[in-house]
Amino acid sequence: MRPMHHIISTKEYTREMLDEILDLAEKLEPIAGKKIKSEIMDGKILALLFFEPSTRTRMSFEAAMLRLGGKTLNMGSVEASSIAKGETLSDTIRVISQYADAVILRHPREGAALMASECSSIPVINGGDGAGHHPTQTLLDLYTIRRESRLDNLSIALVGDLKYGRTIHSLCYALSRYNAKINLVSPPELRLPDRIVEDLRMRDIDVNITNNIEDVIEDIDVLYMTRIQRERFPDPAEFNSISDSLRVTCDLIQNAKPNLKIMHPLPRVNEIAPELDATPHAAYFKQAFYGVPVRMAILCKVLGMEDKI
């Protein structure tokens, strides 16, 4: 198998590399689902470095490591660490490299994970860098699509904050490897950055841009909703001016395909009506569970354990 040291972005990943991790995750699912015990990470330590809030990314990585018999080391809040004294990210990473075997980093600055990987002697996993990328979310999104819908000839709508949403940026690049039809649905102010649209078109991907979910709802297999990323807006007035009109309800999906799946990286704010939770369309809580086997697979890959599974 190809070595995969740091996990920074999905841009360069081939279909073969993506499939390899998804296959590994499938093998690990019984361990994530508490059906089988494992000790393959015995003696290994994963450091958790979160400079931004997180529930799923932090806890599912932690659950993945613990269920594989490894341990985690959490820097805790920024206020409780030397970052509060003015320590640089590169110094922090250099030191943590000596304490742990891999590190998962979430940071508000785009490019932070790449920078960290350049001064780290252990694998760095990008857990989200500002409005940049979120590759491990993408891997669990692909896994969810493969398990709950289909990856080949997929028609998907990516809805919401396509400008600042890092889950969207990473997912677009990965979907391009499966020749998906990508419908981009957002208010004009929150369109996907031009450079990403151009990259997708260069890869011969069918990209359709619209402001309304109604325009595409009958054609799609997956509706991928996202939150408006309030914290990324340079001007709060700009945030307030954007309506939360992109909301999915039972009414809206009346003419959708019967096996339409609704996904969301979570947290949701207002984008998905709770009345949908009990319908077979709702895949977002399963998606959050799939984070565990997929992150187990990622850990096995970066720590060179995949042959032990």
- Return residues touching ligand NCD (CB under 6 A): 56-57, 128, 134, 137, 166-167, 226-227, 265-266
Q: How far is the CB of 133 from ligand NCD (least distance, A)?
A: 9
Q: How far is the CB of 40 from ligand NCD (least distance, A)?
A: 25
* Choice between 128 and 187, CB closer to ligand NCD: 128
Rg for the chain, CA atoms, rounded? 19
Q: How far is the CB of 268 from ligand NCD (least distance, A)?
A: 8
- Tokens 């742990």 identify what position? 100
- Tokens 């979160």 identify what position? 50
Q: How far is the CB of 255 from ligand NCD (least distance, A)?
A: 28
Beta strands in 181-242 (DSSP E): 181-185, 207-210, 222-225
* Choice between 265 and 293, CB closer to ligand NCD: 265
* Choice between 203 and 268, CB closer to ligand NCD: 268
Query: Quick one: how far is CA 104 from the chain centroid?
Result: 13
Q: How far is the CB of 308 from ligand NCD (least distance, A)?
A: 28
Q: How far is the CB of 242 from ligand NCD (least distance, A)?
A: 15
H/E stretch holding 117? helix 112-118
Rounded Cα–Cα distance for residues 7 and 111 (Å): 12
Rounded Cα–Cα distance for residues 272 and 266 (Å): 10
* Choice between 227 and 281, CB closer to ligand NCD: 227
Phi and psi dihedrals of 246, rounded to 5?
Answer: -85, 85
Q: CB within 8 A of 212, min separation 6: which ones?
A: 185
Q: CB within 8 A of 239, min separation 6: which ones?
A: 228, 230, 233
* Choice between 57 and 149, CB closer to ligand NCD: 57
Rounded Cα–Cα distance for residues 86 and 214 (Å): 49
Q: How far is the CB of 206 from ligand NCD (least distance, A)?
A: 25
Q: What is the DSSP letter of 7?
A: B
* Choice between 97 and 291, CB closer to ligand NCD: 291
Q: What count of other Cβ atoms lies within 10 Å of the Cβ of residue 57?
A: 24
* Choice between 93 and 263, CB closer to ligand NCD: 263
* Choice between 186 and 226, CB closer to ligand NCD: 226
Residue (of 283, 3, 13) closest to 145 by Cα position: 283
Q: How far is the CB of 56 from ligand NCD (least distance, A)?
A: 4
The two three-digit tokens of residue 59, written as one number: 């806890």
